[in-house]
Each structure stands twice: as structure tokens, then as C-alpha cells.
Structure 1
């Protein structure tokens, strides 16, 4: 057997020159699309708080855009999911579960790192950690726009991933805050040993559990998730109907 064939392949099935070609293509795409208007506006918005620009987006307009984007993302994703086979839907469910666990781990890990490496109050560390255990619809839309500009296809169940991966940050934050309350957190969010701490006049006996109906309702039926999941369900139903008769339903 000749172990030194000139056309030997990469262990992943790529020739030895292909990884370099892929890296070169990735760099070329990055440089080429770095100054696309969509990305430039994203960077501009990112600089607003950094440069302390006294700008406040109108709340009513912001809420209107959020409602439109969440429903449109869910609707479009739901219609595409109607074309998936049962096996592909099972794969999507498995990936959603992995995404849920991953975001929960990221949220908890971020909280631990912040507590050990910064002087932040524990409640603030939990808040920031929970933020990192969630995802961003704005970033998601930006990524979809970039993929569209590059004519790159993506799996249709990505909106489901967005919705599912929004939940862990909320759960981790509520769980860790409930632990802080049991350890004596005062009404202002200060813990024993932190500046400004005032002992509660009465310890909150049997503080609200993370599994209480009220907490679960706030987590799973908050407006953002409701509109996103609602859009997915509506899109899926309309997509199934369109498979039978394309003239029945028009997409978003």
C-alpha cells in the first residue's frame, strides 16, 4: 500500500490546499462586505452608547418595529418549516435543545466570571450574565440580511432556535436572583457585605419560587416570545395550507 500518494486527502475529505482557499474566501467575503450599508448602520448604532450620543429612539416606533420583525421572522420561518420532513423537524428539535442548554451554561458561566473578576454587585453580575444567556432579535435580523446579501442559504428552523434560545437567560436570571433573596438581598438589590446594604425588616419567608405559575407565565408568555412563537405557528399552518393549494395563502 502506498501511504504517500501525491493526491492524499485531508482527514475531513478536503485536499490540503482547500483549507487555505476557504480561509482566503472567508477573508475576501469579510473585507468585501465590511462596508455594506446594513453593517455600517449596525456599527453606527453600536457606537451610540459608547460615544454617549444623546440619542433616544422613539419608544412607539421601536415597539412597532420589534412587533413587525418578530412576527415577520416567525411567519417566514414557520412557512419554510412546513416544507421540512419529519426527520428534519426532529433534527431541528435536537439542535434547539442543544442551543437551550448552551445558552443556559453561558448565562451561568458569565455570572460566575463576573462575580470573581469584577467588583460588580452580585445582582448586577446576575443581570449581565442572564443577558449573555439570551439572544438578540436585532443581531439575528442583521445576520439574515448579511446572508441574503451573500446569497447564502440557511436552515428554515433558525427562527425556532431564536425563540428557544431566548428562554434560558430569563430562567437562569430568575433562578440566581431567587438564591440571592434567600441569602438576604435587600430591596435595593444589595447583599450582606456590599456598600449600602440594609437588612430587610422581615425576611421574605417562602419567597416566590422560580417554578411558580406567575414566574413561568412571565418567562414563557412575555410579549416577544408570544409574537415570535405565534408567528411561527401561523406561518407553519399557512405553509401547510399552501402546499395543498398555493392560491390560498400569501406569505409575509
Structure 2
């Protein structure tokens, strides 16, 4: 399977940046594209939820939440004991890798649809659920028993950051207003792939702009940023098999397990864990893991799971 046409825009942006001819995208436009993707994915998931809500989905959701809590527990000792990072930095990076990248998920959706591979349409619910547990576990790993001292503030950062709020809100709107969403979907549905292409163009530029930081942080973090996605993908695929998901659903859960947040978690931890080196976490997730998943990981998961 060749490079997906939408993912090619990521490569385009990265190459332009490396050649010293970066494509300038207004900050407001980039933020608008992010909002669009979050709302579009949430609405689509909410519409599906109105059709497929069941006790079985409840059990699947609980398993996905547990999955999101386990991933940072796996990443933390690797970063702390093997990588030699501080406890706070290890917890911060682990939280990023326990959470998910909505953009990576959007690319996986685009690839599945381009190849006519069916998947469970309520997956947006799992994306929203996976944003929160990793943040909670990461803060606990960093603070220990002291994490409960300012529970109100921490709860606000976990549940009311922009990514989580927009996803959950859009899912609820799609679920409760499923009969009226035909008014919105010509915009949020038809334009999805085009908006994703523009978003990835900027992501390619941002990822390439951090090449120098990758060299600064050394080979361990670069190796971790490739190894951890493979561990997460394997565990995600195994969980999907236990849950009886389709091949497309298995690819999506593997992709979610392999992805790392660079939007929701940084926003939450910037206030809750200010002493952590956010540049380290974002460089690993955005400049290494995101390109790896878009260019190598998703095609690899598709190929392996289609055998």
C-alpha cells in the first residue's frame, strides 16, 4: 500500500521546512482546523452512538479506559529506570504516550475509508475516553499521594481542556441531535479530508522544525518514541481481538494505542505539572511518534492486520 494522499501533505510540509522554505500558515487558521477536526470526529461518533448504544458498548468503553490507564504505567519505568529521566519528566512523557493524538486517529480514519475498510462507527467515543485516564495516572506518578491536594484544579485540567471538551460536547450533540445532523454534515463530513490535508501540512512543518531538539535530547528519547508506539499498537490490537472488533476497528485501536498526545495533554500538564519539560514531551510525540505513525505505523498496522 502506497503513501495515502492525505498523509502526503504531512511529508510535503516537512520537506518544505527542511529546505528552508516553510509554508506559513496563520495561527488562527491552524487553530480553526484543529477545532474543525475535533468537532467533525465527535459529531460522527455521536451520530453512531445514537444507533449503537448498548450494554456491550459500555463494557468495551470500560476496557478502553483501563487500557488508557495501563499505557503510562508501562511507559513510566522505561523512561525513569532505563532512560534516566527525572520522575516528573518521566511521568509527563508517560502521560503523553498514554493519551491519544486526534490527528493520528483522523489519518487512520482517512486511510480506512480510502481503502473501503469497515470499522465500528462509534470509535470517537473511545478517543474521548482515552484522553483522561493517562493525565490522571501521569499526575499520580509525578506527585504520588500529593496528587489529591488540589483535586478541583486537576479535575478541571483533565475534563475541561479544549480537546476533551470539544470531543465530548460534539459527541453529545451528535447523539442527542442525530435526527438533525443532516444540516451540519455537508460541512463537517464532506470537507473532512480536505481540512485534514491542510492540518497535516502544518503538522509536517512543525515536526520538521524540531529536528534540532531531537538531537539535543539524544538517542534514547528517539528510540522510545518509536518503540512505545509499537508496544501500544500491539496491546491495542490484542485488546481489540478480546473485544471482538472488526479489522478496521482493530487498526483504529492499535493506532490509538500507538499515538501520543501533543494537544490535550500538554494543555492539561502546563498548569498541573509546570516543572516538567514540556518541550521534551512534545518533541517526542510530535516530531517522532506522529510522523512514524502517519508514514510507517498506520500502513504497517493495516498490512499486518489484513494478513
TM-score for both structures, normalised by structure 1: 0.65
Quote how far apart the aligned CAs of 1:149 are.
0.3
Q: Is the 8 A contact 1:175 1:210 kept in 2?
A: no
Which residue matches 2:170?
231
1:141 positional shift: 0.4
Structure-2 residue corresponding to 1:38: 6
Deviation at 1:90, TM superposition (A): 2.0
Q: Is the Cα contact below 8 Å between 1:174 and 1:210 reproduced in 2?
A: no
Gaps of 5+ in 1: 1-30, 183-206, 243-247
- 3-state SS in 2 of match to 1:151: coil
User: Judging changes above 3 Å, is the alpha-carbon distance between structure 1 residues 144 and 129 closer, same or farther for their aligned structure 2 residues?
Assistant: same
Count how many residue pairs are aligned between Structure 1 and Structure 2: 184
Secondary structure of the residue aligned to 1:229 is helix
- The structure with the largest alpha-carbon Rg is 1
Per the TM alignment, residue 104 of structure 1 is displaced from its structure 2 partner at its CA by 1.1
Answer yes or no: is 1:250 the counterpart of 2:183: yes
Pick from 31, 35, 40 the counterpart of residue 72 of structure 1.
40
Paired residues for 1:115-154 under 5 Å: 115-154=80-119
Q: Cα–Cα, structure 1 residues 221 and 93, in superposed 2: closer, same or farther, change >3 Å?
A: same
Q: CA offsets per residue over residues 68-88 of structure 1, 9 Å max, x none?
A: 11111111111122222x5xx
Partner SS state of residue 37, structure 1:
coil
Secondary structure at the residue paired with 2:119? coil
Alignment partner of 2:183: what SS?
coil
Identify the match of residue 156 of structure 2 among 203, 210, 217: 217
Higher relative contact order (CA 8 A, sep 6+): 2
Aligned to 2:130: 165
Q: 1:164 offset after TM fit, Å?
A: 0.1
Determine if contact 1:111/1:125 at 8 Å carries over to the other structure: yes
CA contact 2:91–2:141 (8 Å) conserved in 1? yes
Give me the CA root mean square deviation. Answer: 2.7
